Chains A and B, each alone.
Chain A
């Protein structure tokens, strides 16, 4: 059973802080993703990665960066947190497309920026 683990369920940070959200998957998946989930806006893709040290911008990358130093770990970084980054952040992983594009999601991190 695939497990995607996000390090924190709830985080409260102050405006201007640097924030790290961590995600680990245990099924040797090639692809990893960060989405944010907002009421009325659905899930929007921030960044994704097809392989170690590779990253691709999603639809809303501004204000975010990512790091993938190991295959199982994908970190989302808010360089200088702002109140409009208050949201639920979801990490997901999947195998390469030849084996299906089903995403497995973590439980999410609810980030509040004050």
Chain B
């Protein structure tokens, strides 16, 4: 079955600390993975996708097919990173989302 698992509902860190939001997936085939973010009172938006291999707002994510993971990382968290983060897996034309992780960054 195709599935996305985000094991942490809440992740709290202090400003300047490293952040890693975990995402594991189950998919038979070549996966295409995304991270979406929802800031307070804003719409859900794309943060990054693995095929672009880009860094957005200091965040990176590497696809690890051996561990079926796509963890989101940032070396130094900022207060403005506080948001809800969703990992998503493409299945034909649609996206399958995980349950989300709320990141809280304290000053």
- Listed in ascending order, the chain A residues whose CB lies under 8 Å from chain B are 4, 31, 33, 35, 40-45, 48, 50, 58, 90, 92, 94, 96-97, 101-103, 105-108
Whether B90 and A90, one on each chain, are in contact in the complex, defined by CB atoms closer than 8 angstroms, is: no
Flag B41-58 by CB within 8 Å of A: 1 or 0 each: 001111001000000000
- Listed in ascending order, the chain B residues whose CB lies under 8 Å from chain A are 6, 9, 32, 34, 36, 43-46, 49, 86, 90, 92-100
Whether A102 and B46, one on each chain, are in contact in the complex, defined by CB atoms closer than 8 angstroms, is: yes
Give Cα A101–Cα B96 distance, bound, in whole angstroms: 12
Known: A42-B86, A101-B95. 17 other contacts (CB 8 A): A40-B99, A41-B99, A42-B99, A43-B44, A43-B100, A45-B95, A48-B93, A48-B94, A50-B93, A92-B44, A94-B93, A97-B92, A101-B93, A102-B34, A102-B46, A106-B43, A108-B43
A-B contact count (CB 8 A): 48
Residues of A within 8 A of B99 (CB): 40-42
B45: nearest chain-A partner, CB-CB: A105
Residues of A within 8 A of B100 (CB): 42-43
B102: nearest chain-A partner, CB-CB: A39
Choice from A42, A44, A96, A107 contacting B93 with Cβ under 8 Å: A96
Give Cα A33–Cα B88 distance, bound, in whole angstroms: 15
Cross-chain pairs A/B with CB under 8 angstroms, 16 sampled: A31-B93, A33-B94, A40-B99, A42-B86, A42-B98, A43-B86, A43-B97, A43-B100, A45-B95, A92-B44, A96-B93, A101-B32, A101-B90, A101-B95, A102-B34, A106-B43
